[in-house]
Amino acid sequence: MKLTQRYRPSLALLTDMYQLTMAQGYWKQQRAEQEAVFHLYFRKNPFKGGYTIAAGLEDAIDLLQNFRFTEEDTAFLAQVKGSTQEPMFEKAFLDYLRQLKFTCTVDAIPEGTAVFPNEPLLRVQGPILQCQLLETPLLTILNFQTLIATKAARMVDAAKGDAIIEFGMRRAQGPDGALSGTRAAFVGGVGATSNVLAGQLYNIPLKGTHAHSWVMSFDDEEESFATYASVFPDDSVFLVDTYNTLEGVKKAIAVGQKMRGNGHELKGIRLDSGDLAYLSIEARKLLDDAGFEKVSIVASNDLDEYLIESLKLQGARIDTWGIGTKLITAYDQPALGGVYKLAALKNEEGHWDYKVKLSEQLIKVSTPGILQVRRFYDNGVLVGDMLYSEDQGISRPSTMVHPNDPTQHKSFKESCTHEDLLVPIFKDGQLAYTSPSLKDIQTRTKQQVESLHETYRRLLNPHIYKVGLEQQLHQKKMDVIVELRNRAD
Amino acid sequence: MKLTQRYRPSLALLTDMYQLTMAQGYWKQQRAEQEAVFHLYFRKNPFKGGYTIAAGLEDAIDLLQNFRFTEEDTAFLAQVKGSTQEPMFEKAFLDYLRQLKFTCTVDAIPEGTAVFPNEPLLRVQGPILQCQLLETPLLTILNFQTLIATKAARMVDAAKGDAIIEFGMRRAQGPDGALSGTRAAFVGGVGATSNVLAGQLYNIPLKGTHAHSWVMSFDDEEESFATYASVFPDDSVFLVDTYNTLEGVKKAIAVGQKMRGNGHELKGIRLDSGDLAYLSIEARKLLDDAGFEKVSIVASNDLDEYLIESLKLQGARIDTWGIGTKLITAYDQPALGGVYKLAALKNEEGHWDYKVKLSEQLIKVSTPGILQVRRFYDNGVLVGDMLYSEDQGISRPSTMVHPNDPTQHKSFKESCTHEDLLVPIFKDGQLAYTSPSLKDIQTRTKQQVESLHETYRRLLNPHIYKVGLEQQLHQKKMDVIVELRNRAD
């Protein structure tokens, strides 16, 4: 189910106030329809990682398709007052908003693609007033889902083929933090969720058995397992740490033996506290010695990709990883920090003026143009991405310039193949894209991560993937910066 | 506007899968209606702080009031399959859910109250099946809003009376992260938001002027300011750092002088990058020297309570603090970690059996009973909170036991007054509470923080507020623990 169906039909007010004041400014100036290009991108991979997984596009498309100001929306804006208690917004401007139709052209990188700093995940071209209003919600949707998909992909990579279950809803940042987050976690490769509503909305497999409270509600732990098994004889995973973990395992085995007598098999046990390395090894021994080699061990308790890696190195015998808080909130970096910058504006002669946001640091200066990302492959392996501007084209296809150090160039072999990552999503406001199924997006993520050299995938100090500028674009960017610096001083 | 109105009418599926499997287990056992008591509480103040501000109750009430399984909900559950491809849920159980009505008794601490570790923010008493299903959404709502309200209150306290504007929507964890988060930030004391939809839904004052893109869309920075002033002559705050901050201030002053010529006053300037201490002091000089003593300086750029405190110590001349990412995501601790534990279960004789979740660490062992929080005041100042069980009452009103060190007692003076914090919210499923206005909740937060001794309010190593157990409750808890440990070994 789509964002607007589960939320509200129009989300036009889900934006920052300054987008609306600027919109009235452009409109007053008769510049509302002036054509602009904005890029949405981030400056650093999250989690000090080597790559990022794009996510959220399907929700962003839904937002754009349903973009309109309802009568309720403009009625609310009509009564917003300024410091003199006069209305902030003119009636004629609100009438303009009321009849506004989304007419932008949007290109974006499909969900599940590995992306890197400074690459536009999304490019909006159209009337500056519309581009501006859309900044905030597009960032909200893409920043968060991209963040969580990336976190999930890192955990999946660390788990090396083990199953991961997402069950962070209780710690999520609000109901939509749980829903959008679970969707993004699935994009990143998580196999199942505890979130029933996400299961319904996104067709994600559901998992869940029982909590400590189930055990505590019985006088006897073994009785609680036996009762659970009587209700779900083929789907029993017993939580064994309510009182004493290894004693709990023994009781699970006792119940497992009775289940077997009745023609059923215990599916698993879950460890939720204590030393997971030690306990999983001891639990495995107990299970194996009792003939329960196929009973899987599920572990949980504030896990993340670092703990998964560490537990595997310690020889922990964990088959399934249950992950909550650290995934659903991206705990160690809970925001991506994506930005949305004006990059070009069509002047009265119909030509593009390139636009740059200056900064003291070259790394924070935006790149102007109508950007596309060309990705180069050497035998299917990613070797570098070149940003170029579609109105300039490419002069020397095989060479690009380091974005922050013009003395460094990178050349690609003649035998490299390439692909342009941004694909058409909307053409003049008309949808030109069909979102793949969430399962297909998940498959794309897996393929993308696997096509990255392992040096980009390691958790600690990963290799920096090369993203450069096409030569004419680089030159033009330098020219604009120098001109602006001269003018500012 | 309420959660269910902005989201979907029933949120019964917004729960963990294991709540539903346990529910079927209780139902199969004819124990669905067995009366239970659960407490929702957290174990540590967030941000290594000295206090926490309760928030989110109004949304939780809305969730409970609208709690029901729709036909769509049970139709979805009917097709959830187990490992043998048989349905997980029996038709008769789903029929039971379909006719289920919320009949619990709920008590809670009002929003805007200063609360402390191990105090129940909310107590649910009722049929165990219902209590269990409600665990996850209650945690989602109260964990997040309490977290953000606390973060906001810390920032407001650090700002010592300066205005704070929340504008983190673009970095929020999904649309509801932005909306619930903005609501909670207002509870914590933030004065305004950039989030237009939150303004509409919650009647929170809106603020916003223009972005860098506005300036960049003009050939000349001064022209961009003058144009903005022509549209909003009485509400102009110019963002001065697009090219060079102090040059930008001079241009703002030049436009301010022209505005004054037309009978209007420049309201402010905004600094969004660079050294905010240095730049604000220099900007203040420029403004004052030009006769603009009343023009306020707004600052933003990854601010939080620590930076506010530091900038104030450095003598920064900042009047209004614009706060984004660090507030809306509670960046340095993006989850509260609240839990929801079974504390008592009515046995067949109609008596309460006390329930405890054991743990290796005493600090993580839950407290049983039907808990109430009695707060003691000495001349209006908070001096300690005593947990007691309503079925036991209080034996010696003036003495409580340290929860993790039984050798420590705390006594209150005879002259102390007291109040019980949990108030009735629902009685047998019927609403018994009217939520105060959001503005009144904000006022309560302010009064609560001010009634805390400053040693609890400092950011670094705050004093630990005393929360103890009533003596009979303490004794009973110890008895239950010893009994459980004996049985487990």
User: What is the interface pTM, i.e. ipTM, of the complex?
Assistant: 0.97
Q: What is the pLDDT of residue B485?
A: 85
The answer to whether A50 and A463 are in contact (CB under 8 A) is: yes
Pairing of strands A417-420, A371-378: antiparallel
Residues on chain B touching A351 (C-beta within 8 angstroms): none
- Among B21, B267, B489, select the one facing A83 at the smallest CB separation: B267
- Among A84, A208, A242, select the one facing B358 at the smallest CB separation: A242
Pairing of strands A237-239, A268-271: parallel
Q: What is the pLDDT of residue B358?
A: 82
**Residue B339, CB half-sphere, CA atoms under 13 Å: how many?**
16
- Residue B467 distance to chain A (closest CA, Å): 24
Q: Which of B280, B285, B284 is nearest to B307 (CA)?
A: B280
**B272: nearest CA partner in chain A:** A359
**B172: nearest CA partner in chain A:** A140
- How far apart CA A126 and CA B408 sit, in angstroms, is 69
Direct distance between the N- and C-terminal alpha carbons of chain B, in angstroms, rounded to an integer: 53
DSSP H or E stretch at residue A177? helix A174-188
* Per-position DSSP letters for A128-139, written without gaps between them: HHHHHHHHHHHH
CB contact under 8 A, B210 and A22: yes
- Residue B128 distance to chain A (closest CA, Å): 9
CB contact under 8 A, A213 and B331: no
Residues on chain A touching B88 (C-beta within 8 angstroms): 232, 235
Positions in chain B whose pLDDT score sits under 70: 1-8, 489
- Residue A226 distance to chain B (closest CA, Å): 11
Number of A–B residue contacts, CB under 8 Å: 346
DSSP H or E stretch at residue A225? helix A221-231
Q: Hey, what's the torsion of the CAs at B444, B446, B448, B450, to 10 degrees?
A: -150
Residues on chain B touching A335 (C-beta within 8 angstroms): 171, 173, 325, 329, 331
**A368: nearest CA partner in chain B:** B216
Q: What is the pLDDT of residue A2?
A: 60
Q: What is the pLDDT of residue B218?
A: 95
Mutate to test the interface with A, among B2, B8, B11, B18 (most CBs of A within 10 A): B18
Residues on chain B touching A487 (C-beta within 8 angstroms): 243
- Among A231, A274, A334, select the one facing B334 at the smallest CB separation: A334
- Residue B162 distance to chain A (closest CA, Å): 18
Domain B209-318, CATH number (from 3.20.20.70, 3.30.200.20, 3.40.50.620, 3.40.50.300): 3.20.20.70
- Residue A181 distance to chain B (closest CA, Å): 8
Residues on chain A touching B58 (C-beta within 8 angstroms): none
**B485: nearest CA partner in chain A:** A243
Residues on chain A touching B16 (C-beta within 8 angstroms): 167, 169-170, 194-196, 208
Q: What is the pLDDT of residue A489?
A: 66
Residues on chain B touching A139 (C-beta within 8 angstroms): 170-171
CATH architecture of A209-299: Alpha-Beta Barrel (3.20)
Q: Which of B113, B178, B156 is nearest to B325 (CA)?
A: B178
- 3 state SS of A105: strand
Angle between helices A438-450 and A174-188 (to 10 degrees): 50
- 3 state SS of A150: helix
CB contact under 8 A, A227 and B137: no
Mutate to test the interface with B, among A5, A8, A17, A349 (most CBs of B within 10 A): A17
The number of beta carbons lying within 10 Å of the beta carbon of residue A439 is: 13
Give the model confidence (pLDDT) of A242-277 as tens digits: 989 999 999 999 999 999 999 999 999 999 999 999
Residues on chain B touching A13 (C-beta within 8 angstroms): 196-197, 199-200
**Please, where in chain B does CATH 3.20.20.70 lie?**
209-318
Residues on chain B touching A24 (C-beta within 8 angstroms): 231-232
- Among B17, B273, B325, select the one facing A194 at the smallest CB separation: B17
CB contact under 8 A, A335 and B331: yes
Q: 3-state secondary structure string, B171-211?
A: HCCHHHHHHHHHHHHHHHCCCEECEHHHHHHHCCCECCCCC
Residues on chain A touching B337 (C-beta within 8 angstroms): 171, 325
Which amino acid belongs to residue B122?
A: L
- How far apart CA B203 and CA A118 sit, in angstroms, is 37
Mutate to test the interface with B, among A89, A196, A235 (most CBs of B within 10 A): A196
Give the model confidence (pLDDT) of B137-176 as tens digits: 999 999 999 999 999 999 999 999 999 999 999 999 999 9
Q: What is the pLDDT of residue A363?
A: 78
- How far apart CA A386 and CA A399 sit, in angstroms, is 9
Residues on chain A touching B216 (C-beta within 8 angstroms): 342, 355-357
Q: 3-state secondary structure string, A269-316?
A: EEECCCCHHHHHHHHHHHHHHCCCCCCEEEECCCCCHHHHHHHHHCCC
Positions in chain A whose pLDDT score sits under 50: 1
**B364: nearest CA partner in chain A:** A273
- Among A11, A340, A341, select the one facing B175 at the smallest CB separation: A11
Q: What is the pLDDT of residue B489?
A: 66
**A138: nearest CA partner in chain B:** B170
Angle between helices A245-261 and A276-289 (to 10 degrees): 30
Residues on chain A touching B234 (C-beta within 8 angstroms): 82-84, 86
